[in-house]
Chains A and B, each alone.
Chain A
Amino acid sequence: MSSPDPENRLVEWFRRWRTPLRRFLASRSAVRPADFDDVAQEVFLRLLRYDAAQIVEHPQAYLFKMAANVAAEWSIRSSNRLAHEPHWLASLATEDRADHALDCEAAQLEIKRALNTLSPRERTILKLFFEDGLSQAQIAQSLGVSFRVVRRDFEKSYGKLRRELNGELTRALQYGRE
């Protein structure tokens, strides 16, 4: 889907750097299921090492670039470590497209399930934003509610989805697509 807002900078940055991050998070070869917390810990330390003034120029870019770097470095490391393990080769051989398709479908259903836990208005707002590409201001207008209500619903629904979404499933979705 195209970006709903061409000037959506944070999303743009995220999009630019997400592939390695996603590949890492979805990677089956990792020693243990690494999580955002692990990546975040390392990114946090790197953020502290930099001069604040430098980061302030493009904090979003730094954040996602660092996350992507951490993820890329770690996946190289873990795949090196596992290269000699016979079961890793075996799993590589049996990994097929059908698996991905299944994962994708499971992930789609998982997102659908999570969305259905939101209130009807929250669902409506997300749908108008992601499917119809309306901006938050346009959504407010079309629903006849104030902009603040839309913004708050957005925040609330992201928070709920953050708790609700099963990370394992949605990671598979991301990996399968790029």
Chain B
Amino acid sequence: MDANERRARATHEATQWWNRLGIERPGEISKADRELFTQWLRESPLHVAELLRIAQVHDALERFKLWGEIETGAAGEPDNVVALREPLSEADEAALESERAIYKSNDKVGEKISRSRIRLWAIAASICFVAVMAAWFALAARGQLIATELAERRQVMLDDGTVVQLEPETRLRVKFEDRNRYVALEGGRALFRVAKDAARPFWVSTEHTSVRAVGTAFGVESGNRGVIVTVAEGKVAVGRSKPRWFSPAPQEIAQRQAVASGAGPVATTESAHVADERKDDSTAAGAAQAGAGDVADAPTPEIFLTAGQQLTVQGPGAVERVRMVDAARALAWAEGQLVFENDTLADVVAEFNRYNRTQLHISDLQLATRRVSGVFEATDMQTLLAFIRQGGSEIRIRQTDEGIVIDSSH
């Protein structure tokens, strides 16, 4: 990520903070928000600078005296191009209509002069409309993608104020609706500090597990070891259901709906959960998709987790149990630390490789299966290498063009 992108992101986050702390929420700012804000400020001087700049923008607007000269009617301007990019809920549709009506009435004043221009705009606007709608439908079903690359960690704030910490090589899609907030974790891991909104539950879905939260902090990891949900604060509900919204491509939705409509009785049993985990997966998915968009009647039983609890779901059909964990330790990755407990060196190296550009390779199979326990800074490869070296005098570490190779001399 180059400097411009970093700055643009900082600007965006600063506007969100300004809005959230200053304008949107009157009254007391919650301690959790203040903590997040402090943390954000202390992350980078860039954040401080951009917040000061946004403050200056606000200040300039407050001191602006020529509002009377600012055109807002926009007669003849193709404003609908901007407006249509918004997710079109019914309320927004209605709003758009009324907006258009307002602009239309403004047009009357200059009608004689600009009729031909309006016609031209109308054609242009309708072409844009079609294009934008097509793009919108293609995108809307999948939600907005947020992804990190190798060795990239990112913290983003979602529209509702939820803060997500994404670890390297993590992909998630975000789709917010009026009644629900959906996030699909397609891979990797992320820590969610969910903004409280009792009216809109927050769902995090992986391929076979979904987690529901109202206002809480929890981590979700999706990888080889299954899906691991760890709660740091508050309470979440983990369902074994195939999530109702898991980034399906539009054609997939159509297919699944077709399946669902052909399988009447299945649709009423809802999606698979603990009790009927042996149910055929694709049918369950179809049933789930049939009710897409409304998860209020989510299947029970869900497994409730509170602070300090962890649940591992290894796949549909796998038995899970709730474990008590030290949440700070289990979520240490969110602080840039990697904790290993009796993991193979191969796993450890794979984990490090996600956080670093310099890649480690183990060429000795025996070495790769050695068990390792310990806490490491994710970016401190030297300590890890020193640790590995202690494993025996036969261990050799070489720097090559492809990275660092670990092997043994016997």
Contact = CB atoms under 8 A, between A and B. Distances in A.
Interface string B22-44: 11101101010011011101101
Given A48-B42, A158-B18, A130 B61 contact: yes
A158 B54 contact: yes
Interface in B222-273: none
Given A10-B22, A131-B67, A18 B57 contact: no
B320 to A, nearest CB: 36
Contacts of B21: 9-10, 60
A11 interface: yes
A138 to B, nearest CB: 12
A119 B49 contact: no
Interface string A96-110: 000000000001110
Contacts of A29: none
Given A40-B48, A123-B71, A130-B67, A170 B53 contact: no
B71 A121 contact: no
B86 to A, nearest CB: 6
B16 to A, nearest CB: 6
Interface residues on B, range: 35 or more
Given A116-B70, A127-B67, A170-B60, A8 B42 contact: no
Interface stretch (B74-82, B127-135, B186-194, B300-308): B74-82
Contacts of A120: 71-74, 77, 79, 82, 103
B91 interface: yes
A96 B209 CA distance: 70
B82 A162 contact: no
A170 B82 contact: no
A86 interface: no
Interface in A100-148: 107-109, 111-112, 115-116, 119-121, 123-124, 126-127, 130-131, 135-136, 143-146, 148
Contacts of A170: 56, 60
B159 A148 contact: yes
A119 B79 contact: yes
A74 interface: no
The listed residue with most A CB atoms (<10 A of its CB), out of B15, B52, B59, B71, is B52
A11 B47 CA distance: 17
B41 A63 contact: yes
B37 to A, nearest CB: 5
A84 to B, nearest CB: 31
A39 B48 CA distance: 9
Interface string B56-100: 111111111111111111100101001100100101101110110
B46 interface: yes
B20 to A, nearest CB: 9
Interface string A40-63: 110111011000100111111001
Given A123-B72, A159-B12, A43 B92 contact: no
B114 interface: no
B52 A1 contact: no
A41 B45 contact: yes
A59 B40 CA distance: 11
Contacts of A63: 41, 48, 51
A9 B29 contact: yes
Nearest to B44: A44
A64 to B, nearest CB: 8
Contacts of A58: 34
A155 B12 contact: yes
A156 B178 CA distance: 21
Nearest to B43: A44
A85 interface: no
Contacts of A151: 19, 24, 159
A174 interface: yes
A59 B60 contact: no
Given A63-B51, A143-B95, A136 B23 contact: yes
A52 B55 CA distance: 22
A41 B29 CA distance: 26
A43 B48 contact: yes
B11 interface: yes
Given A14-B58, A151-B19, A159-B12, A124 B72 contact: yes
Given A8-B26, A116-B70, A159-B15, A1 B62 contact: yes
A95 interface: no
Interface string B324-347: 000000000000000000000000
A44 B42 contact: yes
Contacts of A156: 15
- Which 3 residue pairs across A and B have the least CB separation, nearest first? A10-B22, A120-B74, A40-B49
25 contacts: A9-B21, A10-B21, A18-B55, A37-B45, A44-B44, A44-B48, A55-B41, A55-B42, A63-B41, A107-B60, A112-B64, A112-B66, A123-B70, A123-B71, A123-B72, A127-B67, A130-B62, A135-B26, A144-B99, A151-B24, A158-B19, A158-B54, A162-B57, A165-B57, A177-B63
